[in-house]
Amino acid sequence: MHGDEACAEGAIAAGCRFFAGYPITPSTEVAEHLALRLPEVNGVFIQMEDELGSMAAILGASAAGIRAMTATSGPGLSLMMENIGLGMMLELPAVVVDVQRGSPSTGLPTMPGQSDVMQVRWGSHGDYGCVAFSPWSPQEMFDLTILAFNVSDRYRLPVFLMADEVVGHMVERVVIPSAESIQRWERKHAKQHPGGRFLPFQAEDADLVPPIVHAGEGYHIHYTGLTHDERGYPVMTADAHQELVTRLVNKVKVNREELIFTEGFDLEDAEILVISFGCTSRSARRAVRDARREGIRAGLLRLITLWPFPEEIVARQAEQSKAVIVAEMNLGQMSGEVERVIRKPVRGVYHAGGAMIPPDPILQAIREAAA
């Protein structure tokens, strides 16, 4: 199955019943597939006038209780950023698929990139928690789309699937499990009767996630992008802002263990640690295999979760390695995070985008680190 189509099927399997988006290469096939499939499952597909409206539309659908998604690429993601910040402030679940291409600006629309990873973390102004996953295969386009919906609903925030053109347009075997075997995490719903007193942004549990109610259920609820109190109404004070924004950040921090996923290859005795994600991980895996054949003890740590950054795992693995290499299809965005965590320089294998990094330059970096 085509990676973008696998993402669309993952959305259907996860219970997505609303998609709003605007065509943009290389994510358009996600929208095209859902335009056909959503009506078959009593869902709704809307082609919006632009990406600003797309993000607003899926937030509105989410406020009504529907699992909703959009898909885009770099320039469209830039346009969504203001409303992504709104979604973080309103704590509305939604899934945003970003099939990355060569950038900035219009860049290389039909060619791959991995340079949106910092934008997705910091692109909307202000502080907030962020969750982003990076697939390396069409199978993970399916699986991680489901995970993104579950995490989004459980923790009440927009969640990102950071794919790339190579994975989005790759065709591989995808196993779709039975509907009964697909795990679904439901939203934490308010227990109070609609007629009683209810504070829609009061987080009483240790996960710092307030229960949600939906439009039309009889509850009184007010949504605003302004700083607000537990009632949802604006409160223009520094103290209220400190309390609200700190919780938005900490609800991701305190739940890190539930959100961080990585995969390791040949790490048990690795002296040379390679860190990568997305399609570049496939080349890195080959480079590590070739290095092992040459007698070099190399290993790969593949980042499935990009945000929150898996600091503890990276630090622990780097501690037992004499050199760390980061391979990514940008000019060192995630390398900076790795250096921040391990507190020493890394060797970077970078490319600005437009072509998948082959195994050879990664293997050469491994050889140089081992010399």
pTM, whole model, 2 decimals? 0.97
Q: What is the pLDDT of residues 62-79, one digit of tens each?
A: 999 999 999 999 999 999
A 10 A CB-CB count for 91 gives 23
Give the tokens for residue 118: 């910092």
Domains of the chain plus CATH, in order, are 3-181 (3.40.50.970), 263-370 (3.40.50.920)
A 10 A CB-CB count for 129 gives 21
Cβ neighbors of 258 (< 8 A, separation 6 or more) are 151
pLDDT of residue 192: 80
pLDDT of residue 198: 84
pLDDT of residue 193: 76
Q: What angle do CA 361, 366, 369 make, to 5 degrees?
A: 125
Q: Which residues of the chain register pLDDT less than 50? A: none
CA gap 26, 80 in Å, rounded: 17
